[in-house]
Structure 1
Amino acid sequence: MGFKLEQERIVLVLAALLFAVFSVTVHNFLTPENVLKLIRDVSVLGILALGMAVVVVGRGVDLSMIATMAISVAWSFNLVSAGWSTAGAVGAGFLFAVAMSLITGFLVAYVEIPSLFATLAMGTFIYGVGHSQLVPADAVYMPATFGLAHAGNGRLFGVPAPVMLFGIACVFIALTLKYTKAGRFFYAIGDNALSARITGIPVRPMLLLQYVMSGVMAFIAGIVAATAVASMNTRVVNSTLIYDVILVVVLGGVGLSGGKGGVRNVIVGTLLIGILLNGMTILDVPYTIQNITKSLILLAAIVTDGFLNPRDEQTAQQGDI
């Protein structure tokens, strides 16, 4: 069975208990409007966490994904407003996200900059270039002619579109990690990059692929988030969203030491943190207190991860990320 399965069960039980407590004690928690908001927020957070999990499995981290999400989607909105078709604008935004992710992956894989510093610098670069050259305004509103407007609020066969997209993303990432060579290579690299290289695994191209997958997930999450509220506020880059994503991944059980975890871990972590954030928002918990709560949970999750996933000699020398 292993502890990972037990950790998933523990987090899932905590999520169910928290949902039950909020349902009974928090006014308006179970209203249709709030449940829909909870579903949408959880879906966005989950899609982002899926992209982060792919990178963390390979013993990395991607702090640039929120900048990629915000600028690529905001630029797509601007292009539609300028007369582009939805397909052309979304295609351009998608290619921008992939291009930025390729640069990030190149810095990590070929220049060998630690992922923490490479992605931190790239996040600042993407936001700066995007704001100065592509998206001059902080908030960009969704044009009325945007063809994917229902991605954040629509339904498909009665299922909310964000949930459907999150489910499709889960299936895609799960199949990739479990049934493809690339997925097996990700785990091998995260477990021991040097051994993976010796056995003939193309480590550098696989690292590139991890960051591209993270960028694609960020773009999809951005489409869902922006169409839900009919706008993209690029200042989300300066929010704590990236820490929420990391919190979901670590709390769910994806080991920072690499080579461990998967989609199930992301799902249970997303449910717990999504419910917690929604409940605190309804209770009008001050933003500072919310951040303190999340930081304490993240710290506890990282400390726990350190005990559950002991660092090997390579990790001790190079650092987890």
Structure 2
Amino acid sequence: MPLLKGLNQERIVVIITAAVFVLASALLPGFLTQENLVAIVRSISVLGILAIGMSVIIIGRGIDLSMVAVMAMSVAWYLQMLNDGTAPWAALALVLLGVLAIGLVNGFLIAYAEVPAIFVTLASASFVFGLVRSQMIGSDAVPVPADHWLAGLAGARLADVPLEVYVFALLAFATFLFLRFSKWGRYVYYAGDNPAAARNIGMPVRPMMVLRYVLSALIAFVAGLLTAGSLQSMNTRVVNSTQLYDIVLVAVIGGIGLSGGKGGVRNVLVGAALIGILLNAMTILDIPLLYQNLIKSAILLAAIIVDGLLNPRDEQTAQQGDI
């Protein structure tokens, strides 16, 4: 049909997002207020930051199931050290070393030991959670010290826009520049599209893979700091929440191809907008969390099916390894 010519997943999601926004504005009281719109943007900022990190991994044909665990447990350990009197610079240095170590171990096992990413990152998530919760922190929720700079993030605004939004925008722009205009960024696409061919022509596929998982861990830590600043604490129970699925949902529904080599930052922005508006609308409608999770699961399943239809895996792709 002429009307459907040229449509792809990204354009379809943009149309759906616009339709949902218009309907919510017309039917839901309080949706179109300035406070609520700022709340929507703020709510998707941390999710969008995590989705950017996940998208770089998926474009390179991988997956990182440890992001939420790294986000929560690294910041919880950092706050615990601050509350115990550790010097801020020493606490930050120790946590950064730990975060880098997680990213390096994930990347090394996936790139050089050739263990499937889904198993490596699932195991590392469980290990990080168990180690930090049992040995390094004393409770599920660790508060931000009153005299720390994170304590001022909750109310930090510029032109009435929360700080998290600017960090999200800056990181999105930096990732866009990296993927589109840097040599290593282009390598991510080539390696995701055909890892064997990329390796055969001399691309540093394995070092690039390690780099992606290190970047993912660092992005998760940044998201954790913003979360702690916003909530004035870090609750480690988020590791067992649905946030990881929300991250994948934002990436996949926006058009990041699970087969690798497709998508970009724009797809993350589109997916984050749709999910943010949907979650806000469901909250205003007072839909129970159980049903919200059911709706999100159905959307994720539909997005994966659409991705499979738009980006089919042939025999050669399958032989190169699934995530």
TM-score (norm 2): 0.93
**Corresponding position of 1:221:** 223
Instruction: Find out whether 1:232 has 2:229 as its counterpart.
Output: no
Q: Counterparts of 1:257-272 in structure 2 under 5 Å?
A: 257-272=259-274
Which residue in 2 is equivalent to 1:195? 197
Q: Secondary structure in 2 aligned to 1:211?
A: helix
User: Residue by residue, what CA displacement relative to the aligned partner does 1:271-297 show, whole Å, maximum 9, x if unpaired?
Assistant: 101111122122221222111111111
- Tell me the amino acid that sits aligned with residue 82 of structure 1: D
Distance change (3 Å), C-alpha of 1:75 and 1:129: same
The match for 2:121 is 119
Amino acid at match of 1:244: D
1:111 positional shift = 1.2
Q: Is the 8 A contact 1:8 1:268 kept in 2?
A: yes
- Root-mean-square deviation (CA, aligned residues, Å) is 1.9
User: What is the aligned partner in structure 1 of residue 285 from structure 2?
Assistant: 283
Confirm or deny: 8 A CA contact 1:47 1:169 kept in the other structure: yes
Question: How far is the alpha carbon of 1:31 from its aligned partner?
Answer: 4.2
Q: Deviations over 1:182-220 (max 9, x none)?
A: 111111110111111101111111000011111111111
Aligned equivalents of 1:274 and 1:218: distance in 2?
Answer: 19
Quote the residue 2:69 is aligned against.
67
% identical equivalent positions: 53
- Evaluate the alpha carbon distance shift between residue 4 and residue 170 of structure 1 in structure 2; reply closer, same or farther with a 3 A threshold: farther
Contact 1:186 1:206 in 2 (8 A): yes
Q: Which moved more, 1:191-200 or 1:130-139?
A: 130-139
**Which amino acid is the alignment partner of residue 104 of structure 1?**
N
Aligned to 1:208: 210
Once the 2 structures are TM-superposed, how far is the Cα of residue 236 of structure 1 from its aligned partner?
0.4
CA–CA distance in 2 between the matches of 1:215 and 1:178? 21
- Partner of 1:310, secondary structure, is coil
| Residue in structure 2 matching 1:42, options 41, 44, 58 | 44
Native 8 Å contact 2:251 2:268 kept in 1:
yes
Q: Is the 8 A contact 1:69 1:97 kept in 2?
A: no
Matched, 1:274 2:276: yes
Partner of 1:14: 16
Q: 2:40 corresponds to which letter in structure 1?
A: L
In 2, are the aligned partners of 1:4 and 1:253 still within 8 Å (CA)? no
Partner in structure 2 of residue 311 of structure 1: 313
Q: Distance in 2 between matches of 1:150 and 1:21?
A: 36
1:69–1:5 CA distance, 2 compared to 1 (3 A): farther
1:101 aligns with 2:134: no
Greater shift, 52-61 or 182-191, is seen at: 182-191
Which of 153, 156, 161 is matched with 1:159 structurally? 161
Gaps of 5+ in 1: none
The alpha-carbon distance between structure 1 residues 251 and 155, as it changes in their structure 2 partners (threshold 3 A), is: same
Q: Cα distance, 1:90 vs. partner?
A: 3.4
The answer to whether the Cα contact below 8 Å between 2:38 and 2:161 also exists between their aligned partners in 1 is: no
> How far off its partner does 1:87 sit?
4.2
- Tell me, yes or no, if the aligned pair for 1:248 and 1:273 is still in contact at 8 Å: yes
**What amino acid sits opposite 2:158 in the alignment?**
L
1:149 aligned residue (138, 148, 151): 151
Of stretches 259-268 and 133-142 in structure 1, the one that deviates more from structure 2 is 133-142
Shift in CA distance, 146/266, structure 1 to aligned 2, threshold 3 Å = same
In the TM superposition, what whole-angstrom CA distance separates every residue of 1:133-175 from its partner, at most 9, and x where no partner exists?
A: 2223111111111213344541135432111000111011111
Say if 1:4 and 1:270 are closer, same or farther in 2 by CA, change over 3 A: farther
Aligned to 2:302: 300
Query: Displacement, 1:122?
Result: 0.8
Number of paired residues?
Answer: 319
Match of 2:28 among 23, 26, 29: 26
TM-score normalized by the length of structure 1: 0.94
1:4-42 superposed Cα distances (whole Å, 9 cap, x missing partner) = 984323212322222222223223334444333322211
Instruction: In structure 2, give the amino acid aligned to 1:315.
Output: T
Q: Distance in 2 between matches of 1:257 and 1:221?
A: 26
Indicate the SS of the match to 1:232: strand
The one-letter code of the counterpart of 2:243 is L
Distance 1:224 1:4, change over 3 A: farther
Shift in alpha-carbon separation, 1:24–1:174, aligned structure 2, 3 A:
same
Letter in 2 for 1:92: L
